[in-house]
Amino acid sequence: MYKLSDIIGHQEMIRTLKHAVQRDRVAHAYLFMGPPRIGKGTVAERFAGSLLCDEPRDGDACGLCRSCRQQSGGNHPDLHRLRPSGASIKIEQIRELQRQVQFKPYQSRRQVILMEMVEAMTTEAANCFLKTLEEPVGETVFLLLTHQPQALLPTILSRCQQLALRPLSQREVAEGLLKLCHLDPQQADKLAALTGGSLGLAVRLADGSESWDVRNRVLEMVQRFPEMQKAQALSMAEELSSDRAAALEGLGLMLLWFRDLLVYHYTSDPGLLINRDVLDKLGRQSACYAPAGLVAILEDIKQAKDHIEGNANTRLALEVLMLKIHSYGGSYNVR
């Protein structure tokens, strides 16, 4: 069983969580915040392990007791999960959760409710859940995961201990790849530079998953930006919108690309770039945009990403974005 102590990065947060268990000062609700694939689920899962462990050691799960073995096997009776049903978390799900927390823990000292994508709660569900947070029952601990805390009710935020996960350093991602994927140091450094501090994405790339396909598609797409026409911009949006998760991943990769263009424009230093494995393409395209245009494009990509994560229409958000990028031009329309 993996424990809090095994997590790469986020060490200040890990110490906070272990101290809470060690000193028996566990809050009734924790909100884990951060961008996708930053490690929210991993930290929450392992914190749940320490909360349910029969004999925690230094605030961490022992990894040996019955509870640890059950959680490792995915069948602990006091660990309950709540995920969106379709596009949202509905009031019926929250009412079922309220019914669950009325019961005493079946086996452990407390029961743990792990709630994913809590920003997807409907207004009715959020107001219903607020009542549960305002009047906690027994030894129940809520672990909430979100990458959009601004979408939650302020009253829910105020009743949770908020823990913000930030991107790992390139060194930490490389160390994670060495440990988890057994890559050679040079390959680990190369992949770590491409992931913007996300070890989860780095592991997917190392496994040869579809993430490479998404990156290749994005790299091909950005090469066409400087000369694209409006019809081509809309076609690109349609192409990328077919898979919402891939679209979000693609927008993250675009952010890294245009960030590199801006950095290269001012420094011409390959050592500061993320996409340094395609330096020749970056060099050619850096002359196509003025700094003001690059800054505007970065803001537009962030805005489109936020809209899609907030369940806006993926294709519409991407069409608006592509037309904006087109408006900043390229080699024939430098601003």
Domain that holds residue 78: 4-164
Residue 97 lies in a domain: yes
Number of domains comprising the chain:
3
Alpha helices in 159-290, H assignment, sequence order: 170-181, 185-192, 199-206, 210-224, 230-240, 244-267, 279-286
Residue 305 lies in a domain: yes
**Which CATH number does the domain housing residue 120 bear?**
3.40.50.300
- Do 157 and 179 fall into the same domain? no
Best CA proximity match to 173, nearest among 35, 8, 46, 34:
8
C-alpha distances (whole Å) from 143 to each of 33, 38, 47, 53, 299 are 11, 16, 9, 16, 31
Q: Whole-angstrom Cα distance, residue 49 to residue 173?
A: 24
Boundary residue ending a domain (107, 134, 164)? 164
Residue 140 lies in a domain: yes
DSSP 120-166: GB-HHHHHHHHHHHHS--SSEEEEEEES-GGGS-HHHHHTSEEEE--
Residue 333 lies in a domain: no
Ordered per-residue pLDDT tens for the chain, 335 residues = 679 999 999 999 999 999 999 999 999 999 999 888 889 999 999 999 999 999 999 999 999 999 999 999 999 999 999 999 988 999 999 999 999 898 899 999 999 999 999 999 999 999 999 999 988 777 899 999 998 898 899 999 999 999 999 989 989 999 999 988 888 888 888 888 777 788 888 887 787 655 567 788 888 888 888 888 889 889 889 988 888 878 888 898 899 899 999 999 899 888 888 888 888 888 888 888 889 999 999 999 999 988 887 778 999 999 999 999 988 865 434 33
Residue 176 lies in a domain: yes
- Do 155 and 27 fall into the same domain? yes
- Do 19 and 149 fall into the same domain? yes
- Do 176 and 219 fall into the same domain? no
- Do 112 and 69 fall into the same domain? yes
